[in-house]
Structure 1
Amino acid sequence: MDLLPDLGSVGTLGAYALVGALVFVESGLLLGFLLPGDTVLFGAGLLAGDPGSGVELGVLLPLVLVTAVAGEALGYAIGRRLGRPWLERRMQSGRLDPRHLARAEAFTQRFGWWAVVAARWVPWMRTFVPLLAGVSGMGQRSFTTANVVGAASWGGVLVLAGYAAAGDPRLRTAALVVGAVAVVGSLCAGAVLHRRRR
């Protein structure tokens, strides 16, 4: 995997910092939709499974959970603070289609909790859904529980799949399949949703 040498080359603390920063930015800032979060997490799990790397699973998993939750919480807070006037300015400037906003708000209102959880598995959605949840006025408690469940499932599955692939030859094939399905599935889901939206 191309990412593994990159993480391994920065040292233990550097690997933790890089993984945490990438997860946080992808989860909470609009420029994060360009980042390969799924690949980063699987690669970090592979690194944790290498006894010589110094990266510990017991540190990596809480780090991923905390940074993923904090990132989405930031996106939600930005959406709540800037609100609909900010989106309306984007519509007036032609940067945002009003029909897309209406669909997104309707979807969030109908499937709000599940939308936040499921969005973790779609690269561009996990960046934008927290913002839309804040703008649409989704309740703080509801958003927080969905945020934690989504972060734990997404981060946990990918990191543990990478760890199992590196640490147990008997599980290597199964773990690689799980990791590959999660990464490819998230990319395909994003592509399908983008195509349907267009």
Structure 2
Amino acid sequence: MPLAMGSFDPLMSAGPTLVWAVVVTFVFLECAVIFGLFLPGDSMLVTAGIVLASHSAGEQHVWALSLGAMVAAIAGNQVGYAIGQRAGQHLVARKGGRYVNVRNVQRVSEFLLRYGFVAVLVARWIPWVRTLCPSVAGAARMDHRTFTVASTIGAIVWAPVLLLIGYYAGGFVAQVPWLMPIVIGILVAALIVATIVGIRRYQREMSQPAEDFSLAPPPTLAAETES
């Protein structure tokens, strides 16, 4: 078993720094731009928590990273909102796109129109909605203060919950010393594969012809989202 542990020494020693870089980058991208839609956000946060559980200072790191991930999620949403606001009522979808298509963008728009503040909160827990929500909210001219408060509350709950689930699950795994490197190795390999697949899906999606359309939400959207 020492050989198995030794084979993962570089990963273990680089853990906190590497985890910080990956988590903050992935969270920001997933909450800001379309590319983030194809990244493994939720599973990445859980895996990060498990990796940190293998370190002696893991508890301090997981709480600090929770704060960092929250900031990245909030900042990403603001960038996404600004992108949508700049695009105005015209969002570019992809003809024949599996994810970035007119139907999905309109579904997010209707979701925001119907549930407003609550929709932004719930969007944190639905991967593809989480990515599209900020830009659609900006394009639909959802009240910026309402959006900011909802997205901030959502970030405060979303990132720490998933990181802590991973961290405490990792604590149980760590009780079997030889098992932790195997679990981390499998999870990290799965994330790498998922990221590569996501990049290819993004390239395939963006290779489809653009489809420009008018979001044209009813003028009552801002009033409904403020209530």
TM-score, normalized by the shorter chain, greater than 0.5: yes
State whether residues 77 and 131 of structure 1, in contact with CA within 8 Å, keep that contact through their aligned partners in structure 2: yes
Q: Which residue, out of 86, 93, 99, partners 1:81?
A: 86
In structure 1, the partner of 2:125 is 121
Letter in 1 for 2:123: A
State whether residues 47 and 53 of structure 1, in contact with CA within 8 Å, keep that contact through their aligned partners in structure 2: no
Shift of 1:49: 1.9
State whether residues 112 and 133 of structure 1, in contact with CA within 8 Å, keep that contact through their aligned partners in structure 2: no
In structure 2, the partner of 1:164 is 168
In structure 2, the partner of 1:153 is 157
In structure 2, the partner of 1:68 is 73
1:24 aligns with 2:28: yes
TM-score normalized by the length of structure 1: 0.71
State whether residues 61 and 155 of structure 1, in contact with CA within 8 Å, keep that contact through their aligned partners in structure 2: yes
- The one of the two structures with greater contact order (alpha-carbon pairs below 8 A, sep at least 6) is 2
State whether residues 15 and 51 of structure 2, in contact with CA within 8 Å, keep that contact through their aligned partners in structure 1: no
Q: Deviations over 1:37-56 (max 9, x none)?
A: 11111111112222347671
State whether residues 7 and 44 of structure 1, in contact with CA within 8 Å, keep that contact through their aligned partners in structure 2: no
Separation in 2, partners of 1:142, 1:168: 40
State whether residues 15 and 52 of structure 2, in contact with CA within 8 Å, keep that contact through their aligned partners in structure 1: no
Aligned length: 163
Gaps of 5+ in 2: 1-7, 174-227
Q: Flag the structure with higher strand content.
A: 2
Separation in 2, partners of 1:39, 1:136: 30
TM-score normalized by the length of structure 2: 0.63
Separation in 1, partners of 2:156, 2:67: 9
Separation in 1, partners of 2:133, 2:56: 38
Separation in 1, partners of 2:170, 2:80: 33
Separation in 1, partners of 2:21, 2:11: 10
Shift of 1:9: 6.7
State whether residues 113 and 146 of structure 1, in contact with CA within 8 Å, keep that contact through their aligned partners in structure 2: yes
Separation in 2, partners of 1:123, 1:68: 13
Separation in 2, partners of 1:132, 1:60: 28
Q: Deviations over 1:113-169 (max 9, x none)?
A: 111111111111111011111111111111011111111211121111111112357
Separation in 1, partners of 2:134, 2:85: 10
Separation in 1, partners of 2:104, 2:38: 20
State whether residues 105 and 132 of structure 2, in contact with CA within 8 Å, keep that contact through their aligned partners in structure 1: no
Of stretches 158-167 and 132-141 in structure 1, the one that deviates more from structure 2 is: 158-167
Separation in 2, partners of 1:51, 1:102: 45
State whether residues 42 and 162 of structure 2, in contact with CA within 8 Å, keep that contact through their aligned partners in structure 1: yes
- How big is the alpha-carbon RMSD for the aligned residues of Structure 1 and Structure 2? 2.9
Q: How does 1:125-140 map to 2 (within 5 A)?
A: 125-140=129-144
Q: Flag the structure with higher helix content.
A: 1
